[in-house]
Chains A and B, each alone.
Chain A
Amino acid sequence: MTLTYSTASNTAHPPRLSPAYKSTVKRSPQKPLIIMRHTLSELTGPVYGHETVRENDHDLTTQHKGEPLGERIIVHGHVLDEDGRGVPNALVEVWQANACGRYVHVVDQHPAPLDPNFTGAGRAQTDGDGYYRFVTVKPGAYPWGNHHNAWRPAHVHFSVFGHAFISRLVTQMYFPGDPLFPFDPIFNSVTDEKARQRMVSAFDLENTQPEWALCYRFNIVLRGSGATPMETK
C-alpha cells in the first residue's frame, strides 16, 4: 500500500497571510516554503487510547457541581478522510466560550460573566466508524480587537488528529445562519465558498433530543492517503 498525501488538498486552507485578519501580517512566513517528499516522519502520527480520553470528557455540562447556563446542545459528526472513509479512534479536542461569549482563559477580558459551572474544554475519541459526540452549551459571540466593532461569530474550536502528522487539523465549527459571517475576517479567510461552508455545522432535527437539547452535525474531512481501501465482500 503506497501512502501518498496530495498537497493539492491543502488548497482548501486559508492563505497564511490574510491581511484583513491583522495578526497574520507579522506571523506568516515571507520566504517560500520548501517542497519535499513525505517520509515516514510525515506519514506517521501519534496514536492514543483510553488513557487520554476519560469516560465523560465529551460532556462539557457535567464537569462542575451544577449545570452551566445557556442553551444545551449536542454536537456530533463523522471524521472522514477525503477518500470518504471514516477515521476510527481519532482524538477530537474542543474548547469554546461560554453561553455569554466569555472564555475562562485569563487573557479574555470581555466584560461578560464567567460561569462557575463551565470550563469549556472537552475531548472525545471517534468510534470504530469515525463518529464522535459532544454535549455542551451553545457559545456566545464575542468582541475582539481586530477592527472597529469586530465580533466573532459563535464557534467551537476543534483539534483533530488523523492518521499522519501531516493530516493534523485545527479548525473552528460555526453555527448555521450566523449574521456575523459576512463581517468576520477569520471565517472569510477561507476564500472558496464551498470550503468555507464545510466549517458550518448543520442543524440536525433527527438527532435533537425532545425536551432536552438541540443537535448540530459537524462532519470533519481530513487529508486522505489516496490508498486503495480493502474490499471486504
Chain B
Amino acid sequence: MSGIKGQGITPSQTVGPYFAYGLTSNGKYDWNDAFTNNLVTPDASGDRIRVEGRVFDGDGQPVPDCMLEIWQADAQGRFSDPRDKRALPNSAFKGFGRCGTDANGGYAFDTIKPGPVPDPDGKPQAPHILIAVFGRGMLLHLYTRIYFDGEADNAADPVLALVPSDRRATLIAVREPGNGNAVYRFDIHLQGDNETVFFDV
C-alpha cells in the first residue's frame, strides 16, 4: 500500500461547528488537550506578549466558532523544527498554539515576541506570527500574518511590500496602552470593507 506519485492531495473540508471537544476543549469536555493558547514556557527568553482580537464575518458579526492556530519563531528567530537547519533550540518553546473563539468572536494567545526570520534570499523579515483561521462555513482555512505595530523593520519587509498600501494595516497588530507585558490587538475580518489580507500559499 504505497503512495502513487501524482495522485493529488486530499481535499480540505470545513472544521464544522463541533470541533471544540476534540481540538480546543480547555477542560470543558472529557478529553485531554493537546494544545492551548499559552505558548510560553518558563525557560523561553524574549518579551512576553499577549495577542488578542476578535473574528468578524462579512456582516460585521462576531464569529463564535472559529479555530485559530499560530506558528512562530522564538525570540532569536528560530523555529522549533529540525527543518530549520539554523535552529539551536535552547528552550522548550514550541512556537505553536491553538485557540477557539468565544461567544464574542474573541481569542487570545500568550506568547513571546518572535525574532526576525530570513526570507529566501537571506534578508531579514520583520517579526511576524503566522495564523491559520478555520471555521464553520470555511471549506479551506485561511492563512495570514500578524506583524507588530511600531516595528522599524516593517518598512522593508518583503511580504508586507506585496500588499497594497491601503490594506497593509489589516496585518499590523496594534499595541494596547498600558504597563506590564505588551498586549497587541489583531482583529480578523473574513470579508467586507476592512477585509483582512490573506495569503495564497
Which residues does A use to contact B, with CB under 8 Å?
3, 5, 7, 9-10, 12-16, 18, 21-31, 33-48, 52-54, 57, 63-64, 78, 80-86, 91, 93-95, 97, 103-105, 107-108, 119-123, 157, 159, 163-166, 168-172, 186-187, 189-190, 194-196, 198-199, 217, 219-223
Measured between beta carbons, the chain B residues less than 8 angstroms from A39 are 117-120, 125, 159
Which residues does B use to contact A, with CB under 8 Å?
1-23, 25, 29-32, 34, 57-59, 61, 63, 65, 69, 71-73, 79-84, 94-96, 117-120, 125, 128, 130, 132, 134-143, 145, 158-159, 162-163, 167, 190-192, 195-201
Measured between beta carbons, the chain A residues less than 8 angstroms from B120 are 37-39
Measured between beta carbons, the chain B residues less than 8 angstroms from A16 are 138-140, 142
Measured between beta carbons, the chain A residues less than 8 angstroms from B19 are 95, 157
Cβ 8 A contact of A220, one of B10, B25, B136, B191 = B10
Contact B118 A26 (CB under 8 A): no
Contact B84 A44 (CB under 8 A): yes
CB distance from A28 to the nearest CB of B (A): 7
Q: How far is the CA of A187 from the CA of B12 in the complex (A)?
A: 10
Q: How far is the CA of A181 from the CA of B164 in the complex (A)?
A: 42
Cβ 8 A contact of B31, one of A7, A78, A121 = A121
Measured between beta carbons, the chain B residues less than 8 angstroms from A219 are 1, 3, 10
Given A85-B3, A86-B3, are A222 and B9 neighbors across the interface (CB < 8 Å)?
yes
Measured between beta carbons, the chain B residues less than 8 angstroms from A52 are 34
Cβ 8 A contact of B135, one of A27, A30, A121, A165 = A27
CB distance from B147 to the nearest CB of A (A): 12
Contact A41 B16 (CB under 8 A): no
Measured between beta carbons, the chain B residues less than 8 angstroms from A7 are 200-201
Contact A82 B137 (CB under 8 A): no
User: Could you tell me the dominant secondary structure of chain A's interface residues?
Assistant: loop
Cβ 8 A contact of B139, one of A5, A13, A30 = A13
CB distance from B117 to the nearest CB of A (A): 5
Measured between beta carbons, the chain B residues less than 8 angstroms from A21 are 14, 137, 139
Measured between beta carbons, the chain A residues less than 8 angstroms from B136 are 23, 27
Given A95-B22, A157-B19, are A18 and B9 neighbors across the interface (CB < 8 Å)?
no
Q: How far is the CA of A186 from the CA of B11 in the complex (A)?
A: 11
CB distance from B43 to the nearest CB of A (A): 16
Contact A26 B18 (CB under 8 A): no
Measured between beta carbons, the chain B residues less than 8 angstroms from A95 are 18-19, 21-23
Q: How far is the CA of A33 from the CA of B145 in the complex (A)?
A: 12
CB distance from A204 to the nearest CB of B (A): 10
Known: A9-B9, A36-B159, A45-B71. 4 other contacts (CB 8 A): A14-B11, A27-B190, A34-B197, A41-B128
CB distance from B34 to the nearest CB of A (A): 5
Measured between beta carbons, the chain A residues less than 8 angstroms from B79 are 40-41, 44
CB distance from A115 to the nearest CB of B (A): 12
Q: How far is the CA of A85 from the CA of B7 in the complex (A)?
A: 12
CB distance from A116 to the nearest CB of B (A): 10
Given A46-B94, A157-B22, are A27 and B137 neighbors across the interface (CB < 8 Å)?
yes
CB distance from A74 to the nearest CB of B (A): 15
A-B contact pairs, 17 of them (CB 8 A): A9-B9, A12-B11, A21-B139, A27-B57, A27-B58, A31-B167, A40-B118, A41-B79, A44-B79, A91-B34, A103-B18, A119-B29, A157-B22, A165-B130, A165-B132, A189-B13, A190-B13
Cβ 8 A contact of A37, one of B5, B119, B138 = B119
Contact B8 A29 (CB under 8 A): no
Contact A26 B23 (CB under 8 A): no
Q: How far is the CA of A229 from the CA of B95 in the complex (A)?
A: 27
Measured between beta carbons, the chain B residues less than 8 angstroms from A157 are 13, 15-16, 19, 22
Which 10 A-B pairs have CB atoms at the shortest separation, nearest pair first? Answer: A23-B137, A95-B22, A84-B3, A121-B22, A46-B96, A26-B58, A33-B200, A80-B3, A27-B137, A44-B81
Closest A residue to B170 by CB, please name it.
Answer: A31
